[in-house]
Chains A and B, each alone.
Chain A
């Protein structure tokens, strides 16, 4: 009964004309950045974050969430048609999607990706709606030690999944914490690392940081490369998958939905991991694994469903506990905090309209995405022909204007450029920005939780180990840290052995 009454509350908010408009803008922009390689959903959310300042928090979050899940739809288009993933979560779709396009089956590939995304997105939101209330009641029993340990676990999982080096990822998380301490100390009002710059008293802004690390640095790196886009010239006769396509894909879609939702709900992994796990699962359960990589429709349906339901899954820890499960969720958390809303278990009680409105908007957004993506596919393909020479100045301009209008000061613009150059160098030297930003966003909450815990225990760190949930999180974090050390040793041994051989 609660399920439906909450849905009605949410729909009454999401169906307001303003919220419908911002939901549409969000999913439209999301599809656009998903289609266009060169800027991802996180960079776009950072660019559009200042736009939300003039909106109600609900409309702002609805729009930003729309960008997040909209990018998952758009990402499949470039993966299938030009073998170039628009964003990380669609990398795996290139394997079979592009092969299907080469075999003249681009239409069904795009169709199953869109329908799979719709089904998974909708089921994911149903899962979110069902799981959120019981989780909120659990989270209400959490104290500062539990929150601190849970955030540590989230950061460790994110660094554990670092593609390059775990020590580097951990270092970046610590740099994020350090940046998060800049500004006035919330407890005693003492300025920290402000270098007598008044703008630093409020701390480093999330917008210049994220715009620099994900927007500016991305453009600088792309300018160095020669981007050639060979668009597969196919006549998209029918985007509707045949009955045979459906029978081959439906279980892949449902499995992808479950896998994506569960992985998305974990703090750390995010959408790209979910699509890879789904692909591996489909290949394993398939009666014809040899077809994978040669145009198997399940290889498109599973991962595309998984990355969509993962976006709904990522909302679970964010909305119920105030802990972002991914970088994009961290941007949503930052947006909520900018609007003066503290995410966490009290969110549903204090702001039910926002909580249920955002969830309900995701149902509507998923339907909008199907309408935007399938009939308008030709427009998206045409957009890919616009040269990067036109796109990059526009991306830079949006970053410049967005950061300037934060405080009408060039300090934020300078900060953005500084982080842009730092982000560029970090990518060159293989340091990942994701742990840095996630840690930066979590630091104010984490610091409060740490200090409150130590005050509660009169300075004893044992409080983190004596409480079962907190100790469970820390033990798991420690276990992950240990297992990340041993594979390095094994890999090194294997490499040395190989070279000796």
Chain B
């Protein structure tokens, strides 16, 4: 599927949902605009622009269109996917395991799993990165970082 065609359909859905939500909030009158007035205008505009991009995707010549599959062709997309997944895991376990240990494990997973550094370098980077962040933010700047099960 063409990239522009697919993306315009997604934005069209976003626009339609916001129009629906705006009606729920109430549009008010022009003299006294309601809570959903501006979001209604924004949603309508998103739909209009999405429609233009959608139509353009049919009018443009073949040479000017990009297929979705080509967007991830010939690149190391799995690295960004893995990092995205690791960040998600980080969010899920941060408050449970605590800042220091979670940060150490996640940085280790990134430099070892994504960058394929040697164990020595990976451990050095992950220990120093988590320790420096802990000292600077928790101890120096007194930011309330989550302590978790282990208490640090």
Chain A interface (Cβ < 8 Å from any Cβ of B): 51, 54, 165, 167-168, 170-171, 174-175, 177-178, 181, 185, 187-188, 190, 192-193, 216, 219-221, 223-226, 389-390, 392-394, 396-397, 400-401, 404-405, 408, 410, 413-414, 417, 420-421, 424, 428-431, 443, 447, 450-451, 454-455, 458-461, 492, 495-496, 499
Contact = CB atoms under 8 A, between A and B. Distances in A.
A496 B46 contact: no
Contacts of A193: 18, 21, 39
A177 B38 CA distance: 8
The 10 closest A-B pairs by CB, nearest first: A459-B30, A459-B31, A171-B49, A389-B115, A220-B80, A177-B42, A174-B45, A178-B42, A223-B79, A185-B35
A429 B5 CA distance: 10
Contacts, number: 161
Nearest to B121: A389
A157 to B, nearest CB: 17
B64 to A, nearest CB: 7
Contacts of A401: 133, 137, 143, 145
A170 B46 CA distance: 8
Contact of B33 (A171, A178, A451): A451
Interface of B: 3-4, 7, 11, 14-15, 18, 21, 25, 29-33, 35-39, 41-43, 45-46, 49-50, 52-53, 56, 59-61, 63-64, 71-72, 75-77, 79-80, 83-84, 87-88, 90-91, 94-95, 103, 107, 110-111, 114-115, 117, 125-126, 129, 133, 137, 141, 143-146
B76 A224 contact: yes
Nearest to A428: B71
User: Which applies to chain A's interface (DSSP): helix, strand, loop or mixed?
Assistant: helix
B49 A167 contact: yes
Given A175-B14, A405-B144, A225 B31 contact: no
B14 A392 contact: no
A175 B8 CA distance: 13
B144 to A, nearest CB: 5
Contact of A410 (B91, B103, B144): B91
A390 B111 CA distance: 8
B76 A223 contact: yes
B43 A393 contact: no
Contact of B91 (A393, A413, A459): A413
A429 to B, nearest CB: 4
A404 B145 contact: yes
Nearest to A168: B53
B80 A454 contact: no
A445 to B, nearest CB: 12
Contacts of B14: 175, 178
A178 B43 contact: yes
